[in-house]
Amino acid sequence: LKHAVGVVRPVSVAFEVIANFRLYTGGVFTSDDCGSGPMDVNHAVVAVGYGVEDGVPYWLIKN
């Protein structure tokens, strides 16, 4: 994924929006919550970059 995003082009990504993600306002979002299967996926975004902030790796996404 890093190679595709960094060298080729942005990549579409699907994931589960969990309750605490709805309150996200900025910065690196982290959570230990994780869906259990493909039926938990309820949102799609585009990954356009990546990096590390204070030792925490992150993906830069566009809604």
Alpha-carbon Rg of the chain, whole angstroms? 12
**Among residues 3, 20, 42, 63, which one is catalytic?**
63
- Which residues does 23 contact at the CB level (< 8 Å), separation at least 6? none
**Among residues 3, 20, 42, 43, which one is catalytic?**
43
Tokens matching residue 53: 């902030």
Q: Is position 3 annotated as part of the catalytic site?
A: no
Q: Is position 43 annotated as part of the catalytic site?
A: yes
Exposed, middle or buried by CB within 10 Å (0-12, 13-18, 19+), for 15?
middle
Catalytic residues: 43, 63
